[in-house]
């Protein structure tokens, strides 16, 4: 069976103004030696006001300007692509320039609609983002690959293989419908060394452009893996600007451990609780489709440094507590236990939302309440009326943070809960809730999300687990 690698390159992998594209070319040259390659691209980064910013954020800002009656502009976006265009050779430059102009005209048209209608949402929002970001970047990268002697082709939106439901801004992948629409992409894979495609973007059966949530390019890579795994010996490679380590290096600067392997469960939990390894929904979709695809996280700066992610690990190596991570801006929702099942069913069926965990219940005035820790406080704020409608006694508390210890083999560590909670106490932080998953693959510690509480707790716990003798 022919090998296929679905390689995802995010904005940080591309670098500001495409600075790291030569590295990407090197990686693709290596990947294609023994495999077909589908390369998934995010929107590039730019430098604006001396800060690194994603073009996605730039376009979202222009969309908000349009809503508020300010004329939207794509000047920053155009300037970024002009700089990236310099990496295209003379044989491909004119066609690439036409491609950039064509897509940005579509994006500008969407922003103009937002300005005229004073609304930047749904298909207008998706069009502006898609044609200024991921779709355009995949076409530009196609020209750059060709400039480097690689036989490549980009997937056109008319032939898009990622079919989704009609939840336009936070859409959901439809496997069966996508399989029916993947024929053109299969042909491209068969006839080229590399096929480029934009991440984050889907479309409905009716050709309406949809988008995943932020970070959704990881889901695109996972979805393509799901679609192609029966036809090719498929693997997924997430190309990152750093390797996976035991905590966020921006917070912890000592005793960091390289993480060589993770289970699907560990990787999903790490993503849910704030570690930017990959989108947890990407893992969730692979699991729900019953697919077992090998996944690697590759450090582009040092490609020999990889983390392997598998459904099940034959042998767990290294420290059993693999990752300490933290999530800011959480919210706790309290609801009568008698009403929780109706809410959970609705969240799954109507909202397709799963970024929460259920904490231990408590009893007040003879009534048992359940606690739900939502990992995105902004989601809760946007949906307050919907959530509170399920129970007249329901309450919400914002400004909560979750520190999480992750490792399927934590049961090998004695007294880990008591040791870590004591360490947090020594740091002067008040633990509001501590919850251990039954199979001990995670411990969640809830604290108040103020000042640098989350960072302090991560540092304290990581230092403590570094001292644990687990042999």
| Structural domain harbouring 439 | 323-466
80 and 198 fall within a common domain? yes
205 and 346 fall within a common domain? no
235 inside domain: yes
The percent of residues in the chain predicted with pLDDT above 70, rounded, is: 97
295 inside domain: no
Locate 434 and state its tokens.
């501590």
pLDDT band of 424, cuts 50, 70, 90: confident
Q: Is the pLDDT of residue 319 over 90?
A: no
pLDDT band of 78, cuts 50, 70, 90: very high
Question: What integer pLDDT is reported at residue 317 of this predicted model?
Answer: 66
For residue 351, the domain's CATH number is: 3.30.2130.10
pLDDT band of 464, cuts 50, 70, 90: confident
What average pLDDT score do residues 170-194 get?
96
302 inside domain: no
43 and 185 fall within a common domain? yes
Which residue is associated with the tokens 């069976």? 1
DSSP string spanning 295-308?
EEEEETTSTT-EEE
Lowest mean pLDDT among 138-152, 163-177, 425-439: 425-439
435 inside domain: yes
How far apart (Å, rounded) are the C-alpha atoms in residues 108 and 122? 16
For residue range 363-388, list pLDDT tens digits in order: 999 999 999 999 999 999 999 999 99
Give the chain's largest Cα–Cα span: 77
- The residue from 208, 241, 274 where one domain ends is 241
63 and 176 fall within a common domain? yes
Q: Is the pLDDT of residue 239 over 80?
A: yes
What average pLDDT score do residues 344-352 get?
88
Q: Is the pLDDT of residue 438 over 70?
A: no
Question: What integer pLDDT is reported at residue 60 of this predicted model?
Answer: 96
Question: What integer pLDDT is reported at residue 435 of this predicted model?
Answer: 85
Distance separating the N- and C-terminal Cα atoms of the chain: 42
62 inside domain: yes
Q: Is the pLDDT of residue 468 over 90?
A: no
How far apart (Å, rounded) are the C-alpha atoms in residues 254 and 460? 12
How far apart (Å, rounded) are the C-alpha atoms in residues 296 and 237? 5
- The residue from 204, 220, 241 where one domain ends is 241
270 inside domain: no
- The residue from 194, 218, 241 where one domain ends is 241
Locate 372 and state its tokens.
């739900």
Q: Is the pLDDT of residue 469 over 80?
A: no
443 inside domain: yes
Which residue is associated with the tokens 């060589």? 260
For residue range 286-312, list pLDDT tens digits in order: 999 999 999 999 998 889 999 999 998
DSSP 8-state assignment for residue 72:
P
84 and 174 fall within a common domain? yes
246 inside domain: no
For residue range 95-150, list pLDDT tens digits in order: 999 999 999 999 999 999 999 999 999 999 999 999 999 999 999 999 999 999 99
11 and 149 fall within a common domain? yes
223 and 336 fall within a common domain? no
**Residue in 174, 129, 130 with CA at minimum distance from that of residue 155:** 130
Question: What integer pLDDT is reported at residue 40 of this predicted model?
Answer: 98
Question: What integer pLDDT is reported at residue 385 of this predicted model?
Answer: 96
**Residue in 362, 355, 340 with CA at minimum distance from that of residue 432:** 362
For residue 183, the domain's CATH number is: 3.40.1160.10
**Residue in 151, 40, 146, 38 with CA at minimum distance from that of residue 99:** 146
Number of structural domains found in the chain: 2
């Amino acid at each position: 069976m022919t090998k296929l690698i679905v390689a995802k390159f995010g904005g940080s992998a591309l670098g500001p103004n495409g600075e790291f594209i030569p590295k990407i070319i090197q990686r693709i040259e290596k990947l294609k030696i023994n495999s077909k390659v589908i390369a998934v691209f995010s929107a590039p980064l730019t430098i604006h006001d001396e800060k690194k910013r994603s073009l996605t954020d730039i376009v979202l800002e222009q969309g908000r300007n349009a809503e508020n009656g300010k004329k939207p502009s794509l000047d920053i976006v155009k300037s970024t692509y002009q700089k990236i265009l310099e990496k295209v050779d003379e044989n491909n430059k004119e066609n690439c320039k036409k491609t950039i102009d064509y897509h940005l005209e579509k994006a500008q048209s969407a922003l103009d609609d937002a300005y005229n209608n004073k609304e930047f949402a749904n298909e207008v929002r998706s069009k502006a983002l898609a044609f200024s970001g991921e779709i355009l970047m995949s076409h530009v990268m196609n020209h750059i690959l060709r400039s480097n002697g690689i036989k490549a082709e980009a997937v056109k939106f008319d032939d898009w293989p990622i079919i989704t439901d009609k939840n336009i801004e936070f859409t959901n992948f439809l496997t069966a419908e996508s399989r029916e629409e993947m024929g053109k992409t299969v042909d491209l894979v068969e006839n080229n060394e590399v096929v480029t495609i934009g991440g984050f973007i889907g479309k409905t059966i009716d050709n309406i452009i949809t988008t995943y949530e932020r970070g959704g390019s990881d889901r695109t890579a996972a979805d393509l893996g799901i679609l192609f795994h029966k036809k090719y010996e498929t693997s997924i490679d997430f190309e990152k600007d750093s390797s996976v380590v035991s905590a966020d290096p921006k917070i912890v600067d000592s005793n960091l451990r390289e993480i060589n392997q993770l289970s699907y469960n560990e990787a999903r939990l790490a993503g849910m609780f704030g570690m930017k390894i990959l989108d947890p929904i990407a893992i969730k979709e692979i699991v729900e489709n019953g697919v077992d695809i090998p996944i690697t996280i590759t450090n582009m700066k040092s490609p020999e440094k990889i983390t392997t992610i598998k459904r099940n690990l034959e042998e767990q190596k290294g420290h059993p507590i693999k990752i300490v991570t933290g999530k800011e801006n959480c919210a706790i929702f309290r609801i009568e236990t008698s009403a929780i099942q109706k809410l959970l069913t609705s969240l799954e069926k109507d909202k397709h939302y799963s970024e929460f965990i259920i904490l231990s219940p408590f009893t007040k005035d003879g009534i048992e309440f359940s606690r739900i820790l939502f990992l995105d406080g902004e989601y809760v704020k946007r949906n307050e009326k919907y959530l509170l409608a399920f129970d007249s006694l329901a309450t919400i508390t914002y400004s909560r943070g979750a520190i999480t210890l992750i490792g399927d083999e934590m049961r090998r560590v004695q007294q880990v809960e008591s040791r870590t909670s004591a360490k947090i106490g020594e740091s002067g932080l008040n633990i509001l809730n501590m919850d251990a998953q039954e199979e001990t693959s995670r411990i969640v510690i809830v604290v108040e999300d103020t000042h640098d509480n989350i960072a302090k707790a991560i540092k304290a716990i990581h230092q403590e687990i570094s001292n644990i003798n687990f042999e």
